[in-house]
């Protein structure tokens, strides 16, 4: 029996400090070049050389102003500030690659669905079907206030709005243009057939939309749908809509429980458990030998900022950790922030010292350190013991982290049969799921397609 092939996304953001804070000060890190096209096109080519499935680009709208009730630390350490638009990167990267996918984060709370549908269809056309959308509803009060709201919309209510948003998008992407609407017949002077393009009429609680989708059908129509909610309401949403779910694991037992919950949510929504691919965020520091890897780890630690990591975590939980003494127990507070982040604090047994230790590398993801063989062993073990499908691999030093992984770990995984040796053909959805370019029949989005005449 052939081994399960590990799926891999590079995890990045259109900014300097993403997950592992402070490493922008490392002399070999080039993340301050994020404003240039060359930074992104070179990264895309590196990842395609490593046969990565995709580049997953995170995003936030707003700033991390919870820690010390200011943005001083985020500005000094560039904690996802400044941050540029992720969608504008795709055209350039798609032009210099043929197979790499792009998972793009966009906050639906602040994007009108009608225009967003056009933007994603445009990118799907230009990339020949290589885009995915990471669906987020936001969690920062700073974003809500910047966008004209007095405060963040309540957590579960955001998902109610998201359900309706997706309904509007399915109507536009799947239902407005029939498959054979475009004739492209110069002699008959007919590009698109009027009887095969339909007006979308949506009158809901959150959205009022009357109009035709502005784009002809793109290769995938609906981009591959990513999502990262792990709350009960988030899982309900994932079961219905998500094709790829991104989780943050701290140990194998808890990760397996989370993966099982995601698969169960798909089944409850009338889908197959394998209709959702589950990815976990991960740091990898690899060297030709165990000793060299640990030496590199020590070097990276000397540049990392634990305080910046804790400042980032403050925004994720909506708790100002700066107000606590080093060994004072942190009090859990229910909020509209990220539910999976606050869950860890519910026992009230965390202190600022403990958080600083956890964020020694500037972030709190699991870190694998070692030789190519050791890292490959660990990756295979995580896949087999938890049911994960793959990983979102963070950058620690850019682009060194990815280059090391590609040069050292990928050949070892390929030798073992745990990683592909060539790309499949077709769109991102076809590559990841070995199916069709379109949403599968059991996905709720497929029900919005026009009925055959």
Q: In this structure, what are the phi and psi dihedrals at residue 153, rounded to the nearest 5 degrees?
A: -65, 145
Neighbouring CB atoms inside 10 A of 204's CB total: 13
305 is in an annotated binding site: no
- Residue 231 in marked binding region: yes
Predicted pLDDT at 138: 84
Asked if residue 13 lies in contact with residue 61, where contact means CB atoms within 8 angstroms, the answer is no
Taking the C-alpha atoms of residue 288 and residue 292, their distance in angstroms, rounded to an integer, is 7
Rounded to a whole number, what is the distance in angstroms from the first to the last CA of the chain?
A: 44
- The pLDDT confidence band at residue 235, using thresholds 50, 70 and 90, is very high
Nearest by Cα to 278 from 303, 261, 300: 261
Q: List alpha helices for 334-424, DSSP H.
A: 339-343, 352-358, 372-386, 400-404, 410-416
Arithmetic mean of pLDDT, 396-423: 98
Q: Is the pLDDT of residue 338 over 60?
A: no
- 151: confidence class by pLDDT, cuts 50, 70, 90: confident
pTM of the shown model: 0.95
Give me the residue spans of the domains in the chain.
7-289+369-448
DSSP 8-class letter at 384: H
- For residues 63 and 74, the answer to whether their CB atoms sit within 8 Å is yes
> How much is the average pLDDT of 41-68?
96
452 pLDDT tier (thresholds 50, 70, 90): low
Residue, of 358 and 410, whose pLDDT is higher: 410
- Please check whether residue 449 is in contact with residue 174, taking contact to mean a CB–CB distance below 8 angstroms: yes
Window from 14-23, 307-316, 398-407 with minimum mean pLDDT: 307-316
Residue 402 annotated as lining a ligand binding site: no
Which residues lie closer than 8 Å to 406 by C-beta, 6 or more apart? 46, 47, 49, 50
CA distance 113 to 135: 12
Report the range of poorest mean pLDDT among 107-116, 144-153, 171-180, 431-440: 144-153
Which residues, 6 or more positions from 232, have their beta carbon under 8 angstroms from its beta carbon? none
Could you tell me which residue, 330 or 129, shows the higher pLDDT?
129
What 3-state DSSP class applies to 225? strand
Q: Rg for the chain (alpha carbons), in Å?
A: 22
Token pair 């549908």 in the structure block, residue = 117
- Rounded to the nearest integer, the mean pLDDT of the chain is 94
Q: Is residue 248 a known part of a binding site? A: no
Among residues of the chain, what percentage have pLDDT more than 70? Answer: 96
Report, as an integer, the average pLDDT of 214-242.
95
Residue 122 labelled as part of a binding site? no
- What is the spatial distance between Cα 140 and Cα 341, in angstroms, rounded to a whole number? 13
Asked if residue 105 belongs to a known ligand binding site, the reply is: yes
Q: What is the pLDDT of residues 10-44, one digit of tens each?
A: 999 999 999 999 999 999 999 999 999 999 999 99
Residue 69 is predicted with a pLDDT of 94
Question: Among 93-97, 228-232, 385-389, where is mean pLDDT lowest?
Answer: 228-232
Does residue 340 have a pLDDT over 70?
A: no
- Homologous superfamily of 7-289+369-448 in CATH? Luciferase-like domain (3.20.20.30)
* 219, 234 contact by CB (below 8 A): no
Distance CA 2, CA 6 (A): 12
267 touches 279 (CB < 8 A): no
User: Quick check: 368 pLDDT over 80?
Assistant: yes
60-76 pLDDT, tens digit each: 999 999 999 999 999 99
């Amino acid at each position: 029996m052939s081994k399960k092939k590990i799926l891999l996304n590079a995890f990045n953001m259109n900014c300097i400090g993403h997950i592992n804070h402070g490493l922008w000060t490392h002399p070999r890190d080039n993340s301050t070049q994020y404003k240039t096209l060359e930074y992104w096109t070179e990264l895309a080519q590196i990842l395609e050389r490593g046969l990565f499935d995709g580049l997953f680009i995170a995003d936030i709208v707003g700033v991390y102003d919870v820690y010390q009730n200011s943005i001083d630390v985020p500005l000094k350490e560039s904690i996802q500030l400044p941050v540029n638009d992720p969608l504008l990167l795709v055209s350039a990267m798609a032009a210099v690659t043929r197979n790499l996918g792009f998972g793009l984060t966009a906050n639906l709370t602040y994007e009108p669905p009608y225009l967003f549908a056009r933007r994603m269809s445009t990118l799907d056309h230009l990339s020949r079907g290589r885009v995915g959308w990471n669906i987020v509803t936001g969690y920062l009060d700073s974003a809500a206030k910047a966008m004209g709201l007095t405060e963040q919309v309540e957590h579960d209510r955001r998902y109610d709005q998201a359900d309706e948003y997706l309904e509007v998008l399915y109507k536009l992407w799947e239902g407005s243009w029939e498959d054979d609407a475009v004739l492209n017949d110069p002699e008959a002077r007919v590009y698109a057939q009027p009887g095969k393009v339909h007006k979308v009429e949506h009158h809901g609680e959150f959205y009022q939309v009357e109009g035709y989708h502005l784009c002809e059908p793109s290769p995938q129509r609906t981009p591959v749908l990513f999502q990262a909610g792990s709350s009960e309401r988030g899982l309900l949403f994932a079961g219905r809509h998500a094709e790829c779910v991104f989780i943050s694991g701290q140990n194998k037992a808890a990760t397996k429980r989370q993966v099982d919950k995601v698969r169960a949510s798909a089944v409850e929504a009338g889908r197959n458990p394998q209709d959702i691919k589950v990815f976990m965020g991960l740091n990898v520091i690899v060297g030709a030998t165990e000793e060299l890897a640990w030496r590199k780890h020590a070097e990276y630690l000397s540049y990392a900022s634990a305080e910046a990591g804790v400042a980032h975590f403050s925004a994720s939980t909506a708790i100002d950790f700066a107000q606590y003494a080093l060994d004072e127990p942190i009090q859990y507070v229910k909020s509209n922030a990220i539910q999976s982040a606050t869950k860890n604090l519910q026992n009230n047994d965390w202190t600022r010292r403990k958080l600083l230790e956890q964020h020694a590398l500037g972030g709190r993801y699991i870190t694998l350190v070692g030789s190519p063989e050791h890292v490959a062993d660990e990756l295979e073990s995580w896949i087999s013991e938890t049911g994960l499908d793959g990983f979102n691999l963070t950058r620690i030093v850019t682009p060194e982290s990815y280059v090391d992984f590609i040069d050292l770990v990928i050949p070892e995984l390929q030798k073992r049969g745990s990683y592909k040796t060539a790309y499949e053909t077709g769109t991102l959805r076809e590559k990841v799921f070995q199916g069709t370019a379109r949403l599968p029949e059991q996905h709720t989005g497929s029900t919005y397609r026009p009925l055959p005449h």
